[in-house]
Amino acid sequence: MRGIMTVLFAIWGLGGFILVGGSIVSLSGSVGIGTSGYITMGCMFWIGGMIFFGLAGLLSPPDYRALQLIDDDSREIDIRH
């Protein structure tokens, strides 16, 4: 769960940054009150997603079962799913 939320946090962050940045750059010529409200709503939605995925990734418990030592002397790591 933690890994999934971390990946979603990164995808949401980069994708939202590109989309919000693109909309701000493309609409910089004529900005009215409606356009300003629309851009603000998009930014708030993006920030809300960043907070949600970031907190979900931080609060989910880590899964240590995936990493188990085969032999204490060799220090090899066995990754089991």
Q: pLDDT tens for residues 5-62? A: 788 888 888 888 888 778 777 776 677 778 778 878 888 888 888 888 888 878 877 7
Contacts of 69 (CB under 8 A, 6+ apart): 75, 76, 77, 78
**What's the confidence (pLDDT) of residue 64?**
61
pTM: 0.54
**What's the confidence (pLDDT) of residue 49?**
84
Start-to-end CA span in the chain (Å): 13
Number of domains in the chain: 1
Contacts of 57 (CB under 8 A, 6+ apart): 2, 5, 6, 8, 9
Separation of alpha carbons 13 and 17, rounded Å: 6
Domain residues for 19? 2-79
